[in-house]
A and B are shown apart, each in its own frame.
Chain A
Amino acid sequence: MAAAESPSAALRRRDLCSRGIRLAGKMRADVVDLLDAYVEQQGLDASASVAAMEGVPLAAVERWDEQTGTQRLLENLAAYRAFRALLAQMLEEQREQLGEADAGLGRALAAVLLQVSAFAYHLEELLRLESRGIPGEEEEDGPPPPPRLSLFEQKLRGLGVLRELAQWAVRSVRDLRQLAKPSPATGTAPGLAESP
């Protein structure tokens, strides 16, 4: 975090944090709703446990409170970029499987995808305010596409993605609250009381 921050930058950061927190909260609520719809639509058991899958970022982290703000932002940005790709793949698979039969689920997936994109944008803006370079996306030279999964495996993976996204939403809120706390050096306004 920059030691000296202009008032406008501080306001901008605070505004971004505030919106990010609320966006993460709404995203979590929408993902939870989407999970219910997805489980029902895909014929899955809501209580089914899904093992960790490759490519899905995990929200759990050790020594969370020891992380710096930049570290938090970077981890969040990486995770949401991954989720953006995973959700885009899920949306494509969904359209392939159901076509236009269940437009509601597709629209909900698209909405969550947009929120993930928006949150990633918030993180990028915060990183810019931190005067940190924004890491490039690894799409061009990223990992090879995952092997072709069966339909059931696709459904389970989708379930795992949504569950993990919900967890990430909660973590992101906490991260942004940490970031929103006033820096003793800058003496900015007290942190927001908003909670998702």
Chain B
Amino acid sequence: MFSRWNWVACGFYLVLNICSPDASGGLVQSCGHIIPESPVLALGSNFTALCILNESCLDFGNIYASQIIWKIKNRVVPKEQYHEINRTVSSVTFNDTSSLATPLTCNILADGQIEQNIYGITVTVGLAPEKPKNLSCIVHQVSRFTYVMTCTWNPGRHTFLDTQFRLRYRWPEEIFPDCIPKDVNNSCTTTDIQFFVNTEIWVEATNALGKAKSDPLVVDPIDIVKPLSPQNVSVNPELLPTILKLSWENWISDAVMTLKFNIRYRIVGDKNWMEVPSEDTASPRTSFSVQGLRPYTKYVFSIRCMKKDGVGYWSDWSEEKAGITTEDQPSKGPPIWRIIDKSHSPAYWTVHLIWKALKPFEANGVILQYEVTVRDKSSLSTPVKKYNVTSTNHTLQLPEGTYEVTLIARNSVGASPPSVLLIPASNSKAPVKNLRTLPKHDKLWVGWTAPNNYVLKYVIEWCLVSSSSDCIIEWQIALGDVQGVELKGIKPFKCYLITVYPLYADGQGSGQSVKAYLKQDRPSKGPTVQTKKVGKAEAVLTWNHLTVEEQNGFIRNYTILYKTIDGNETVVTVDPSKTEYTLSSLTSDTLYTVRMMASTDNGSRTGPDFTFTTQKFGKGEIEAIVVPVCLAFLLIVLLGVLFCFNKRDLIKKHIWPIVPDPSKSNIAQWSPQVPAKHNFNSKDQMYPEGSFTDVSVVEIEADDKKSFSEQDLKPFDLLKKEKSTSEGHSSGIGGSSCMSSPRQSVSDSDEGETTQNTSSTVQYSTVVLNGYRDQTPVQVFSRSESTQPLLDSEERPEDHAGGADSPAQRQQYFRQNGGQDEINTDRPRFERTKQITHADEGDLVGFVQLQISGQSSQPLGLGMEKNTQEAALSNVLQTCTEGQTVRPETVEENPLSVDEMPKSYLPQTVRQGGYMPQ
């Protein structure tokens, strides 16, 4: 308890000691202090500090040196660096001051816990100044009488301390004020300069750690002067055209220094300076005449100066002043060339004389005019013509011949030597050989091999090739001993046509041309390709050449790239001269994408894509398929027709079998009780009134007229039966053909209806196919050869009644052929009728014409009463039997005479296995 109170009292005492004013009047009296007080230390040196405690604090607070703790900033210094010298003094040692920092404090650890600061110092670490080196001085002339001296030096390493530099200089008996630099530590400028006295100059560097002094520089300031450049420079021409006089003022008096000079000059526009030899300007002067200049040329001059003995510095160059030399006569004649236009008339030339303006150094002045003289060498009597021209071209109309043109340029001083151009009648001399070009930087070199003969000079023509404008010719002349020139003004990526003409003393050689580029680039666009023709496995591509402006170089090749949608790209290289190419081995019916690339030496450019689809079939493939198919079809048809023709009897037999004539049948003789049943009602139904659709004319060949059997014509008989008794013997037969209409044909397939529609079918099937009383039916048709009329029983009244029962139908049938109505008004003729039968005299209104071709074309008419509306054509026969055309003809009302009518039917199909007369 006591100890605790003791430490509290000790702390309170310390606070009082620190905070209370001491007896001497100070505000603070600490319990100790550190020596040295705020030292400045050399970097890297060792340092020892002592903390000394006051005795008063020892007595009251039990504070001893052993309790001292040293700190750098807030970091405790290791105890190993402490040394307790006695009970009141503790030291700390640092082997390297670079580890030090500010502040360094001395602290007490009171009661083992409370740390109390006793004292602190600020430690400054730095370096002593190094010896300034490389001191040098220069005296600048700033005005006519004012000079300043600027000295510079190397201040050495950074000292980390405030270091003062001062420039000092003196005479042996005079010390001048120091020059203290402002804001810098390596230079100083002073105005206190006295020439012609050796002055000792040095630099002193001073800081807290020391002082350094540079080596002294002993110099007479006059030897380090940089004078002002000569002022008010002027340039004036002299009488001679090659001299200009340069004048100036020196701003430094001869009393101070004598000067030498340096003069430079150049032509305006030229960057290269020329200098007057230094030995010519080594003496003091204020003017100099520069010689060897070009006439009528603008020169720029500049001048500088320095002390004559060369000790010191050159002044800056003076301002530039320009002057122009006077004119002189032109030194050479203008280069001349011609362009001959023979297009108007071969015998009369349009000669465009062109020449180049002389270069300034050749013209030596302003060219006032050109004098052109033309002499006809082929005719000595022709007077010489002279022209005064102010432009650089002249056009003449000359007859074809050889001319000598002389050109002179004239300025205000005189005339140039003449330029002579020989215009021969023809350029028949040897040309140059091996013409070639080579780009050289931004110029195009044109070289050639000289002809064997002596060449006076060469003319090199060139022009920019353009697709849109004419070739504007530029040209230049080269001497005869050169074999190459460099063309200037050539643009890159442009095509030039270059032509070289050798000029001989007695004529001119023909020109040799070459195309060239200064630089090549890849084309500015690619060719646009399209198809000219597309086949199954090939496609013809076509494109246009790129214009010369688009080429940007020589097109070395075209490349065609094509592919299918999902296929690999195929590349084909094409000669650049071609504009068409055929792609082969393509897949049919496939979409292809093709593009084209033009390539120069410097790259390629691809044109737009083009797509096309190959065809599914190749050329002729469709024809190869269709034609054989058609031929085969036709062949089949033909064979069918032939087959039908050959088998017509068989077909005929199957379609309308031969029906025996009942009238000639023996059946009627041996079986009169069972007359053949003729269902004439069916005929009425077959040809109902109004259902008559057509009128057919059956033409029968003469040879085949018998092919119309009586059976065939029996229906006509039936129609005619009641009108002519002589005709009543004929039995009805269904006339038909393979092409007849169903109503007219006899069909076995319609058995159910034949009894109503086709009388012949019914009667024949009944008669032939059914056997009689247990007798085996005979598979031949039998026909009666009797000329007697049919039995009454055979002509059943119901047949007629049936036929008259349907007048309306017949009428309807007739009306459908209304066009025939009026025709029936004519009295038809009847010539040769095999058999015409009236089904019902009262009902028969229609007519039938039967014409037998080959015998007579007279119609076979069947006249009908026109007063009845129920008349109908009973039947229309139309046969397609080969060689026969059967058509109905008008039947006259007057029946044919008996003599004219056939007495009986003859077997008509004997040859074909038909029935035989019984």
Residues of A within 8 A of B (CB): 19-20, 22-23, 25-26, 28-30, 33, 111, 114-115, 117-118, 121-122, 124, 196
A121 with B172: in contact, given A19-B220, A25-B255 (CB under 8 Å)?
Answer: yes
B256, CB-defined interface residue at 8 Å = yes
A118 with B194: in contact, given A19-B220, A26-B255, A33-B145 (CB under 8 Å)?
Answer: yes
How many of B's residues come within 8 Å of A, CB to CB?
A: 16
- 13 A-B pairs with CB atoms under 8 Å apart are A22-B222, A26-B196, A26-B255, A30-B145, A30-B255, A114-B192, A115-B194, A118-B171, A118-B174, A118-B196, A121-B171, A121-B172, A121-B173
CB distance from B532 to the nearest CB of A (A): 99
Indicate if the CB atoms of A114 and B194 lie closer than 8 Å. Answer: yes
CB contacts (< 8 Å) of A28 on chain B: these are: 255
Assembly CA distance A4 to B508 (angstroms): 91
CB contacts (< 8 Å) of B198 on chain A: these are: 19
CB contacts (< 8 Å) of B192 on chain A: these are: 114
CB contacts (< 8 Å) of B255 on chain A: these are: 22, 25-26, 28-30, 196
Interface centre among A29, A111, A118, A196 (most CB of B within 10 A): A118
B197, CB-defined interface residue at 8 Å = yes
CB contacts (< 8 Å) of B256 on chain A: these are: 26, 29
CB contacts (< 8 Å) of B194 on chain A: these are: 111, 114-115, 118
Indicate if the CB atoms of B197 and A23 lie closer than 8 Å. Answer: yes
CB contacts (< 8 Å) of A122 on chain B: these are: 197
Indicate if the CB atoms of B196 and A23 lie closer than 8 Å. Answer: yes
Interface of A is mostly: helix
B288, CB-defined interface residue at 8 Å = no
B253, CB-defined interface residue at 8 Å = yes
Indicate if the CB atoms of A26 and B174 lie closer than 8 Å. Answer: no
Interface residues of B in 197-254 (CB under 8 A from A): 197-198, 220, 222, 253
Tally A-B pairs: CB < 8 A.
46
B314, CB-defined interface residue at 8 Å = no
The 5 closest A-B pairs by CB, nearest first: A23-B196, A29-B255, A118-B197, A19-B196, A26-B255
B13, CB-defined interface residue at 8 Å = no
- Proximity bits, B154-189, A CB within 8 Å = 1, else 0: 000000000000000001111000000000000000
Indicate if the CB atoms of A121 and B197 lie closer than 8 Å. Answer: yes
User: B199: nearest residue on chain A (CB-CB)?
Assistant: A118
B195, CB-defined interface residue at 8 Å = yes
User: A15: nearest residue on chain B (CB-CB)?
Assistant: B198
Assembly CA distance A172 to B253 (angstroms): 19
User: A24: nearest residue on chain B (CB-CB)?
Assistant: B196
User: B176: nearest residue on chain A (CB-CB)?
Assistant: A114
Assembly CA distance A127 to B717 (angstroms): 192
User: A120: nearest residue on chain B (CB-CB)?
Assistant: B173
A26 with B171: in contact, given A19-B220, A33-B145, A196-B255 (CB under 8 Å)?
Answer: no
Indicate if the CB atoms of A19 and B197 lie closer than 8 Å. Answer: yes
Assembly CA distance A111 to B196 (angstroms): 13
Assembly CA distance A142 to B145 (angstroms): 35
Indicate if the CB atoms of A29 and B196 lie closer than 8 Å. Answer: no
Indicate if the CB atoms of A29 and B172 lie closer than 8 Å. Answer: no
CB contacts (< 8 Å) of B253 on chain A: these are: 26, 29
Assembly CA distance A29 to B255 (angstroms): 7
CB distance from A175 to the nearest CB of B (A): 16
Assembly CA distance A28 to B255 (angstroms): 9
CB distance from B223 to the nearest CB of A (A): 10
Assembly CA distance A168 to B887 (angstroms): 172
Interface centre among B173, B174, B197, B220 (most CB of A within 10 A): B197
User: A115: nearest residue on chain B (CB-CB)?
Assistant: B194
CB contacts (< 8 Å) of A117 on chain B: these are: 171, 173-174
Indicate if the CB atoms of B196 and A20 lie closer than 8 Å. Answer: yes
User: B144: nearest residue on chain A (CB-CB)?
Assistant: A33
Assembly CA distance A114 to B221 (angstroms): 14
11 new A-B contacts at CB < 8 Å, known A118-B197, A121-B197: A19-B197, A19-B198, A22-B195, A22-B255, A23-B195, A26-B255, A28-B255, A29-B253, A33-B145, A124-B173, A196-B255
CB distance from B756 to the nearest CB of A (A): 162
The answer, among A29, A30, A33, A121, for a CB contact under 8 Å with B174, is A121
CB contacts (< 8 Å) of A26 on chain B: these are: 195-196, 253, 255-256
Assembly CA distance A111 to B146 (angstroms): 11
CB contacts (< 8 Å) of B173 on chain A: these are: 117, 121, 124
CB contacts (< 8 Å) of B172 on chain A: these are: 121
CB contacts (< 8 Å) of B197 on chain A: these are: 19, 23, 118, 121-122
CB distance from A180 to the nearest CB of B (A): 14
User: A29: nearest residue on chain B (CB-CB)?
Assistant: B255
User: B258: nearest residue on chain A (CB-CB)?
Assistant: A194
Assembly CA distance A13 to B172 (angstroms): 16
User: A16: nearest residue on chain B (CB-CB)?
Assistant: B198
CB distance from B309 to the nearest CB of A (A): 11
CB contacts (< 8 Å) of A196 on chain B: these are: 255
CB contacts (< 8 Å) of B171 on chain A: these are: 117-118, 121
Assembly CA distance A38 to B222 (angstroms): 26
- Proximity bits, B249-274, A CB within 8 Å = 1, else 0: 00001011000000000000000000
User: A33: nearest residue on chain B (CB-CB)?
Assistant: B145
Interface centre among A20, A26, A117 (most CB of B within 10 A): A26
CB distance from B700 to the nearest CB of A (A): 160
Assembly CA distance A111 to B176 (angstroms): 12
CB contacts (< 8 Å) of B145 on chain A: these are: 30, 33
User: B257: nearest residue on chain A (CB-CB)?
Assistant: A22
User: A26: nearest residue on chain B (CB-CB)?
Assistant: B255
CB contacts (< 8 Å) of A23 on chain B: these are: 195-197
CB contacts (< 8 Å) of B196 on chain A: these are: 19-20, 22-23, 26, 118
CB distance from B194 to the nearest CB of A (A): 5
Assembly CA distance A22 to B255 (angstroms): 7
CB distance from B257 to the nearest CB of A (A): 8
CB contacts (< 8 Å) of A29 on chain B: these are: 253, 255-256
User: B146: nearest residue on chain A (CB-CB)?
Assistant: A107
CB distance from A33 to the nearest CB of B (A): 7
Assembly CA distance A29 to B144 (angstroms): 13
Assembly CA distance A114 to B197 (angstroms): 10
CB distance from A165 to the nearest CB of B (A): 15
User: B173: nearest residue on chain A (CB-CB)?
Assistant: A121
CB distance from A179 to the nearest CB of B (A): 16
Assembly CA distance A171 to B288 (angstroms): 35
Assembly CA distance A151 to B145 (angstroms): 29
CB contacts (< 8 Å) of A19 on chain B: these are: 196-198, 220
User: B195: nearest residue on chain A (CB-CB)?
Assistant: A26
Assembly CA distance A29 to B195 (angstroms): 13
Assembly CA distance A25 to B197 (angstroms): 13
Assembly CA distance A114 to B199 (angstroms): 13
CB distance from A122 to the nearest CB of B (A): 7
Assembly CA distance A114 to B196 (angstroms): 11
Assembly CA distance A155 to B250 (angstroms): 33
CB distance from B105 to the nearest CB of A (A): 54
Assembly CA distance A23 to B194 (angstroms): 9
CB distance from A141 to the nearest CB of B (A): 20
Interface residues of B in 535-586 (CB under 8 A from A): none
CB contacts (< 8 Å) of A111 on chain B: these are: 194
CB distance from A78 to the nearest CB of B (A): 16
User: B255: nearest residue on chain A (CB-CB)?
Assistant: A29
User: A194: nearest residue on chain B (CB-CB)?
Assistant: B258
Assembly CA distance A111 to B195 (angstroms): 10
Assembly CA distance A89 to B625 (angstroms): 140
CB contacts (< 8 Å) of A124 on chain B: these are: 173
CB distance from B193 to the nearest CB of A (A): 9
Assembly CA distance A59 to B194 (angstroms): 24
Assembly CA distance A25 to B253 (angstroms): 10
Assembly CA distance A30 to B196 (angstroms): 14
CB distance from B258 to the nearest CB of A (A): 8
CB distance from B438 to the nearest CB of A (A): 63
Assembly CA distance A178 to B649 (angstroms): 174
Assembly CA distance A28 to B192 (angstroms): 19
Assembly CA distance A78 to B171 (angstroms): 19
Assembly CA distance A117 to B815 (angstroms): 167
Interface centre among B174, B196, B198, B220 (most CB of A within 10 A): B196
